[in-house]
Structure 1
Amino acid sequence: MARKVTGAKTAIWTAAAWLVGFIIFFPILWMMLTSFKTELDAFSTPPSFLFFHWTTENYATVQERSDYTLHAMNSIITAGGSTLIAMAIAIPAAWAMAFAPTKRTKDILLWMLSTKMMPAVGVLVPIYLIYRDFGLLDTRIGLIVVLCLGNLPIVIWMLFTYFKEIPKDILEAARMDGATITKELLFVLTPMALPGIASTLLLNVILAWNEAFWTLNLSTSAAAPLTTFIASYSSPEGLFWAKLSAASTLAIAPILILGWFSQKQLVRGLTFGAVK
């Protein structure tokens, strides 16, 4: 028998959820408001929330000083390219681990996950030297490779979890009907796991878009994405909070819009298999 939920309890939980959501979103809101302030207002004490001199001068300065379009295009290409390659590798790998496991499958999964526990700075020097010798420094291909390999363990783990929720009987029935491995992956497994695949793809795009360590160390100008675009506003002369906020707002705007329009798909994929 299901428990009866009163209207008061629903209202309390709803209000609590909105409060937590507002607290989490408040730093982003404050950054957006600061981007419309003058540098004097940005440093004012006590800080003003809404009642200040609104200006778009910071955005104009950012556009004049930096090539936002180039940085945004680099972010789109590197994040999108690394995600597509990671998905192309991860789907067959997760299928093999979920439906054709061996004695070493769990060990391989744990080993892949352990690579995410290693500090990235621990392998910076060898990777930097390899990229220098092969001419991959400050190239989009170089960033795509390192972002793909960095996020691949998480992608395989997530897809493996989703694939495990699919009954093996359905795949066996497809094989009995003469489906090859390729057709099984494309026409049987992928449509059934589409919510999980979509959420994994979106999460990988977000992780690649927000990656700062590798992009700051392996790119300078030609392939520099929006993370480098933001870092360029941290100067030895000090931090100009209003201009830095404007640059940060421009950098996160595309991924915020993507997350807003795909939030239902993302939640559906993250809860895929949770309800039987």
Structure 2
Amino acid sequence: MELECWGEDWGITSVDPECLKILAFAKFSGAPLVQKSTNNPFWSPKGNLPVFRHNGIVLTDFLAVAKHLKSCNYSADYNLTNKQISEAGAFINLMEESLKPALQYITWVDTKNHINLTRVWFGKHLPFPYGLFYPNRYEKAAVRLIESLYPQFSEFGEIGNDTEVETAVYKAAQECLTLLSNRLADSHYLFGMSASSVDAVMYGYLAPLLKAPYPNNTLQNYLKNCSNLVRFVVRISQNYFPKVVKSFDERGHQEQKSEQGSTEGRQEAEEREAEWPNQTRNKVEIKQNKNQEQGRK
């Protein structure tokens, strides 16, 4: 079993929600899934990632992959009752209807995020010349999705920042986050101490929203105020993807040390520059005093 997907960054094993959902479900179910961070959707069936491959079977969406893994006796839902399975399905539908469009919006439609984060990331990680093609394709797909969900606002107007569409997208996402936070409460996972498929979907959407360095971070700040959802993301990252978290933390410490070193170096240089005219003046004054003493003699 292998999953071709977008690579890790920001302390999470993949920057893409769809990839994260499958990777998390595989971890929860114990499936021997191998992650291949190709960052290249050219050979994928739909021109996007993830792509799941197993024994000649090729799948591209979470529900199909989860169903296939269950048929191979890898499931994260064995401990759930029929009622809990129905409730989990309802929460998954809620997240698909609210959080998925919100992430598409803030990643591809929000101008500030799109220019300063999304374009930069994909341009850096996609092989040339795909970095010139796929971001445009994904942006257009996100715009079509938002316009289809909010046709009453987008038919004759803009859908970008400071519009009714943005307000509607944020409102739906915030209501969803509040419901998830209330349902999770103080539990480790939505249904107690064991992670299930709904937790995989939840992690897939919350982790990028929490960890990505969005310049326009209105929805991210709302999520950060839901402290139990933040702990949920951190718990799964540390328990199931510890190497990714450790690697990210180490890079952060190294960057911090290098910044401190460069700052100290600049300060020393500035101090030397500030001392230089004083030292020269002092030398001149000493030489003048010596000449005066010799003249008196």
The structure whose Rg is larger is 2
The structure in which a higher percent of residues are helix is 1
**TM-score, scaled to structure 1:** 0.27
**TM-score, scaled to structure 2:** 0.26
